[in-house]
Amino acid sequence: MPQTAIREELEFKLDLGKKQNIGTIPTAAQRTRQRLERVGGVVQGCATHWYKRYFLELILRQIPLKPSEDGRHVPLRVEHKYALIDERRGHPYISNTIRTSRYTLIDFLPKQIIFQFTRLANFYFLCVGIPQAIPGLSTTGSYTTILPLLFFVLLTVIKEGYDDYKRHRLDTLENANAARVLRPLGVKSGLSTRRWFVGRRKTPEIDIESWGDEPSSEYGWKQVKWQDVQVGDIVKLVRDEAVPADIILLHATGENGLAYIDTMDLDGETNLKSRESLPDFKGCGTIAGLRNCEAEFVLEDPNPDLYRFDGRVTVEGRTLPLTSNEVVYRGSTLRNTEHAIGVVINTGEECKIRLNANQHPEAKKPALETIANKIVITLALYVIILTVGCSMGYIIWRQSTEQGSWYVSMATVEFKQIIIGYAIMYNNVIPLALYVTLEITRIGQMLMLNNDVDMYDEATDTPARCNTNTILENLGQISYIFSDKTGTLTENVMKFRKMSIAGTSWLHEVDIQSEEATSTIRRSLSVNAALAAPRMSREVTSVIHEDIELYPLSSPSSVFPPQSERRSSSQWRSTARPDHLQPEVTTTDLLEYIRLRPSSTFARQAKDYILCMALCHTCLPEVVDGKIDFQASSPDELALVRAAHELGYLVAHRSSQSVTLQVDAGDGNQRSEVYQILDIIEFSSKRKRMSIVVRYPDGRICIICKGADSMILPRLRLAHVAMQKATEVRKSIELEHELLRRSEQLEVRNSFGGRTSLTLRRSIAANRNSVAIAQPIAPIKIPVIVRSRSVEGNRSRRSEDKPRPSLGVRTTSLDVSKTLSLLSPSSPRPLHDKFDFLDDPSIYDESTTFSRCFKHLDDFATEGLRTLLFARKFIPENEYDAWKKIYNDATTSLVNRQDLIEEAGELIEQSFDLVGATAIEDKLQAGVPETIEKLRRANIKIWMLTGDKRETAINIAHSARICRPGSDIFILDSSKGSLETQIGDISEDIATGCTHSVVVIDGQTLAVIEQSAHLTDLFYTLIPTIDSVICCRASPAQKSMIVKAIRQRVPSILTLAIGDGANDLAMISAAHVGVGISGKEGLQAARVADYAIAKFRFLQRLLLVHGRWNYVRTAKFILTTFWKEMFFYIPTAMYQRYNGYTGTSLYENWSLTVFNTLFTSLCVICLGIWEKDLSAETLLAVPELYVHGQRNKELNIPKFVRWMAAAATEGVLVWLGAWAAYSVFGQARDDGLFALGNLVFTIGVMWINWKIFVIETYNKTAIVLAAFGITIAGWWAWNAFLAGVYAPQPSPYPARDGFTSTFGKDPLWWLILIIIVLVLIAVETFYKTMKRNLVIAGVWKWPPWKGGSVDDSVEDWGVEVWQGLEQDPVARERLRGLSMEEDEIDDQERDSVDPDDVAKVL
């Protein structure tokens, strides 16, 4: 980049900064900060420019490729004598090998060395270890720092290399996939290529079948590995096969020459896309046709744009344009097409999917390392001060004592040796053992996570897996989650769920009833087994659920009604609104009504509805394993056709001319009906509807249309009435929404504005230390056990338990409230009057039907269902003939064909009669809504980034509870006006008050924002104030860009990206933490991600439980490690006053060498691996406790300073106590340096292990207690060992027989040891007990000036409160009930509850 460009960019940034500060009065500190930021930006820009220009381009020769002059030229030939040359490089096109690993054999060591020694601690130890190795400078050995450092770095490098080797192996598996390429027969293909490295062997080519192609003695299809596919190769794909590279389609066997492509792994869209080859390639379906076809492609240079493609092809001297309609990208899969043929245009890292990936990302660092670096800098300053102080002490001592003492007057030491010697002596204040043992603890944490059976998915036999153990503590500090939709939140399974016919709503749950039948058999078997077996006492927890409310029991029968009287537990519930009542009538009842009253008006309307479902689609039936299934370009169409089959209308055969239906007459007989297909007006994103013109068996011509309600309503016969009713419904919806928003604003909120999981109450008057979970203020007078379905603690109940705004209330203006109870009965009715509501004459009034249907549409949408309207009309023959001529002219036009087709469609798609509405469920994975709700309560903002269209994304957001019923949804759309104005309006609405805000933005709008620096700044200033964001139609590169932008704009937070497909790789790599779903969609994301789980619901345990535990473990590990080093070396520093500041150590050298390895390693390792400050049940029950890590409460500078002050105080007291006891209050048997140093050393070992093992470790398992005993016993064994192996010679540390004969038999030595250790234990225990009682009482506040009430939000309560609650059996059971997943609770609710168990609770 030229210097002028850098200067202009910097000037623009300065001007932008000035504009942002207009209207503000910055303080001196703000002005200084702004200046420093501007200077830093200038320096960073210059450094980046020089790095690219001189290092990358000049030294590494990584020169950016210039665009080709006329695109890349790819000739269509069955054989290339020479490899095609990329004119940008002057070499052959790159191979089709892809690499997701971070390193190669060439750059692994250089990158790792740079990475390891850019870590502050490693650089510090390197600076200390080099002078220490110089002979004569160190008093603690020459290699005690540099060798352990190099060993530790080597271990880390090996571990990183092994992790990357696993990624490399997975890359090798993908590169070894088989592809079918057209090659000469009997001759080994040998393209003349220029290779820099010739060591790789060519993989063998295998001859395979020709699938009925014309016999050719020269060429045939050969099987090669993906990595051997080259630009210009002709490849053949078969059904359900992945595409090995970007190709131009030459031939396909689908209907009308179409190939159907699944691009879910590429862009996240679930609908199949059709691709069509140019008509000039119609002869390319055979090898002979390919040989005879002469064509040359001129294509755009590789770029990441998935939605645009520019190129041209010259065929037989005729030039034709190429668009994305003829291109199939790598990452796609061929569906519903027997086979297809294409020519390769992009390979390897130049494929669209790889250009959208975050290629070769850098290694990730833990967030705690930032704080640890600050601590290292602080301690380095402390070491410098201590070194300088002791060195100055030596100078003073030399002038006052040494020069007057003849026996040391000639032993003067140079000042530089003194200061370097002290620096080396005190460098252990920053322990190298910290980083060695930290790696050990992380391995232990990784094994604990991998072996968690609660994150094991039995259906797929997939456990959780940690691929990167260096950032385990990051899991406990996440603030933003970026999630894919398809395959991550959803199962990509569409189910037809509801229908609205003549203003009546019906539930379709055939699939649920079949599952319930299976589970009923299992339950009956388990009940029989339970009756046959002796009765065992069951745990009380089996009847305790969320927010328990216990009431007096009149009799067991009143509490536990017979199973037959209970409502069927198989009934479908909305995941978005689980408390919303569902229709009591189902499609099974509908079929029964049609069978009983086939000639009634409603029965005819219902049959017309089902017939429209069976006709208006493009699905093709096929026989699979003896059963009829369907090929569909859209999962929505597949769900509709299958539902029509379940309702008695089976599509038995379909061609381009007719549809054959097998209709169930209801009496066991079937009849066949043939409908002639006259025309199909295809669905498009602009039209948002699809129409089919058919001729009925009786000769009538009918057009059936299905589409979005916004498209169908204006085209109805009574459009003005429909629009009026829709407006009335919309106004009532807005009124309800406003009421809901106001009610939510009055709810109790926690410290970060979220809804609390539960309420705690202290009984201060009676007992200041009493804490209990608050009971409901006004219990419901129902003699049953009630739980909150929405996990709202003691505030929420089911909708049938308390009044709440409902659509039934707000639609009184529509004059339908009187019949709502008839349309959706709330209790089972006798069979004879179950259908009485269908005799209501109002259901035949079109105005009333409109009102009810639109209300149903709103209900369906708020439940997260995908809605469609069906409409139809019969057309006279002459009117159809006139339109047919116009339509034929449009389909054969060579100019603006698509526009003319849409205009022709507008002519006939008018004056429809409304048939009804459908609701399709995009089935979520189990536990997704509950997981998102808990993560939101953990102060985590959840974004959904998907390639699907806007309406689909919003529906899924409602189902998954990313959007709540009271959410304010703002849509940013570049086609709707000024984006600056839209962003400003959203900011104003947020400022006026909003309980939960959601912004919806599409990829096109995001691209517009990216092009303007001003809009980018406005957008990313707004986004942190938003609760959730839905980004639809986003490319993988845009997903990655969003994650990176949030990281840059909000540097204090941590991000997590989760996905399952190849289109999520860039996003996963860009986030602080990447999680891959290793389920049905393959392992592309799981192999690159830092962590792999089988289902999205395991994310709550991964973060709330393991994240919290690992954050607390690592933070405590770092804190206690620094504490013990500070405490241990304070006596040595104080001892220098008594040895003339000569640097003599208080401790014996060998004991000092193994201090961290043998005597204080197990305590911190056990703390770092097995510590659990709170149980998993508590952490899942109260997600708000997750903010502990987000706010860095466990490790921060103030807490570190307090711990260091305590360590220094304790170290001073230990030294003064030992020195006073030896010198003032008693006469020791052995008053030598070794006896005194060993006493202080022993006190240090005892106190460090007692404090960490006993006081600081809350989860004292058998392993922890055993490690404590081993460490203490090991220290005494070490003393005995020294006493026996030390040579009997004069030494400052006469260890020989010391412990066994001299000071070991001195009662004073033992008395001092016991007294000092007991004093330290007593002081620490008193402080901990006092603090715990004050915290529980609500009196403890730190810092003292911090405000707060006695009953703060649950996340502000100290961990001591929750540990106290866990000790209480009743509170523990309530917390366990809150932590249970909803499906587990439902299973228990379906089981009968024994009254004896309830008596135990009471």
Q: How many CA atoms lie within 13 A of 1331 on its CB side?
A: 12
| CA–CA separation, 165 and 606 (whole Å) | 61
Q: Where are the alpha helices (DSSP H) in 1307-1394?
A: 1307-1337, 1359-1367, 1369-1379, 1382-1390
Q: Torsion-angle region of residue 927: left (phi > 0), alpha (psi -120 to 50) or beta?
A: left
Measured CA to CA in angstroms, residue 858 lies from 587, 845, 866, 1385 at distances of: 20, 20, 11, 29
Tell the residue number behind the tokens 């990329």, with chain if given: 86
Instruction: Write out the two tokens for 390.
Output: 């002791």
Q: Minimal CA–CA distance to 1228: which of 1306, 1305, 1147, 1314?
A: 1306
Rg of the chain (C-alpha set): 38
Which residues is 504 bridged to in the sheet?
A: 501
Q: Please report the DSSP string for 423-460 in residue order.
A: HHHHGGGS-THHHHHHHHHHHHHHHHHHT-GGG-BTTT
- Residue pair 779/549 in contact by the 8 Å Cβ criterion: yes
| CA–CA separation, 848 and 981 (whole Å) | 40
Instruction: Write out the two tokens for 89.
Output: 């490089």
Q: Minimal CA–CA distance to 963: which of 1032, 1028, 1046?
A: 1028
* Phi, psi dihedral angles at 219 (to 5 degrees): -130, 150
**Amino acid present at 230:** Q
Within 10 angstroms of residue 696's Cβ, the number of other Cβ atoms is: 15
Q: What angle do CA 698, 704, 707 make, to 5 degrees?
A: 165
Sequence-ordered list of residues with C-beta below 8 angstroms from that of 347, at least 6 positions apart, any chain: 93, 94, 95, 96, 229, 230, 231, 245, 246
| CA–CA separation, 752 and 1186 (whole Å) | 12
Q: Report helix angle 146-175 to 433-450, nearest 10.
A: 30
- Which of these is catalytic: 171, 233, 484, 1173? 484
- Residue pair 1064/1039 in contact by the 8 Å Cβ criterion: yes
- Residue pair 477/468 in contact by the 8 Å Cβ criterion: no
Sequence-ordered list of residues with C-beta below 8 angstroms from that of 1401, at least 6 positions apart, any chain: 540, 543, 544, 550
| CA–CA separation, 328 and 260 (whole Å) | 10
Measured CA to CA in angstroms, residue 623 lies from 620, 646, 652, 1389 at distances of: 10, 17, 10, 41
β pairing state of 941-945 and 1028-1032: parallel
Sequence-ordered list of residues with C-beta below 8 angstroms from that of 760, at least 6 positions apart, any chain: 771, 772, 773, 774, 1351, 1354, 1357, 1361
Q: Report helix angle 368-400 to 1108-1135, nearest 10.
A: 0
- Asked about 913 being catalytic, the answer comes back as no
- Residue pair 674/646 in contact by the 8 Å Cβ criterion: no
What is residue 1243's three-state secondary structure? helix
| CA–CA separation, 1237 and 1146 (whole Å) | 5
| CA–CA separation, 146 and 869 (whole Å) | 74
Q: How many CA atoms lie within 13 A of 26 on its CB side?
A: 13
Active site residues: 484
